């Protein structure tokens, strides 16, 4: 398993019940993800990490409400409630997450003008986070993903993993979806087409 890595996506307070962008049953992924963490030699975590007033927040766009979309220079962007602001409790990992064995934390969405759903690229699908190079240099060829949310950050990460030539699988029991306007079905179909194994 030295060539395999677990990528735990955004298991943070704001995506769990009571959080600013709560995913239904988001906290239920924690025991499943902890079980996965124990089994993998390489564990990477992502942490959604926005500056206050980030451009993905509806509150930064007068007249717009959360879950509406705007067109940004890099394409369409869904607007969200303020969430995962750098240094806040909402941005912390869920307190039950057994994250201490993780070898890398990739923070994403930290640039004011652009969001980043994927662990590999910002939402322009061009600017790398460095994770692809990191995994390749460490000899990883297969990634397993779980976390929040299935139809946004998990799916975009899995699709980009395939685009970069990694084998990719998503553990559905360890993931939960936002499901906005049919996004879960759409992203599930895209993942299947791209050769992501849904297990």
Q: Which residues are catalytic?
A: 10, 108, 153
8 near ligand VGL, rule: CB under 6 A: no
Residue range at the interface with ligand VGL (CB under 6 A); choices 33-41, 57-65, 86-94, 149-157: 149-157
Minimum separation from the CB atom of position 23 to Zn ion (A): 12
Residues 89-128 interacting with ligand VGL (rule: CB under 6 A) = 117
Minimum separation from the CB atom of position 123 to ligand VGL (A): 10
- Range 100-109 burial, b when 16+ CB lie within 10 A, else e: eebebebbbb
Pick 44 or 149: Cβ nearer ligand VGL? 149
Answer for the pair 106, 129: CB distance below 8 angstroms, yes or no: yes
Minimum separation from the CB atom of position 13 to Zn ion (A): 13
Minimum separation from the CB atom of position 137 to ligand VGL (A): 26
Distances (CA, A) of 69 to 80, 128, 159, 190: 9, 24, 22, 20
Query: Tokens 């709560």 correspond to what residue?
Result: 22
Q: In this structure, how many other beta carbons lie within 10 angstroms of the beta carbon of residue 135? A: 25
Answer for the pair 113, 19: CB distance below 8 angstroms, yes or no: no
Residue range at the interface with ligand VGL (CB under 6 A); choices 125-133, 146-154, 158-166, 182-190: 146-154
Number of residues that bind ligand VGL (CB under 6 A): 9
Residue range at the interface with ligand VGL (CB under 6 A); choices 94-102, 147-155, 160-168, 183-191: 147-155
Using only C-alpha atoms, the chain has a radius of gyration, in whole angstroms, of 16
Q: Where are the beta strands (DSSP E) in 94-190?
A: 104-108, 142-148, 167-176
Distance of CA 56 to the CA centre of its chain: 15
Pick 27 or 48: Cβ nearer Zn ion? 48
Instruction: Give residues in contact with ligand VGL (CB under 6 A).
Output: 10, 15, 48, 80, 117, 148-149, 152-153
């Amino acid at each position: 398993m030295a060539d395999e890595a677990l990528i735990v996506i955004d298991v943070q307070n704001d995506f769990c019940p009571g959080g600013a962008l709560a995913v239904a049953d988001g906290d239920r992924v924690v025991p499943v993800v902890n079980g996965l963490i124990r089994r993998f030699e390489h564990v990477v975590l992502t942490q959604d990490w926005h500056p206050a007033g980030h451009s993905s927040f509806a509150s930064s766009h007068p007249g717009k409400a959360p879950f509406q979309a705007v067109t940004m220079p890099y394409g369409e962007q869904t607007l969200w409630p303020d969430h995962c602001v750098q240094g806040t409790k909402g941005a912390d990992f869920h307190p039950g997450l057994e994250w201490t064995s993780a070898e890398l934390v990739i923070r994403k969405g930290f640039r004011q003008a652009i969001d980043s759903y994927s662990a590999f690229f910002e939402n322009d699908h061009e600017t790398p986070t460095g994770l692809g190079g990191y995994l390749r240099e460490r000899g990883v060829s297969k990634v397993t993903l779980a976390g929040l949310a299935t139809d946004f950050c998990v799916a975009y990460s899995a699709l980009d993993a395939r685009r970069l030539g990694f084998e990719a699988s998503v553990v559905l029991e360890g993931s939960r979806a936002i499901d906005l306007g049919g996004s879960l079905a759409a992203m599930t179909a895209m993942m299947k087409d791209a050769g992501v194994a849904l297990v």
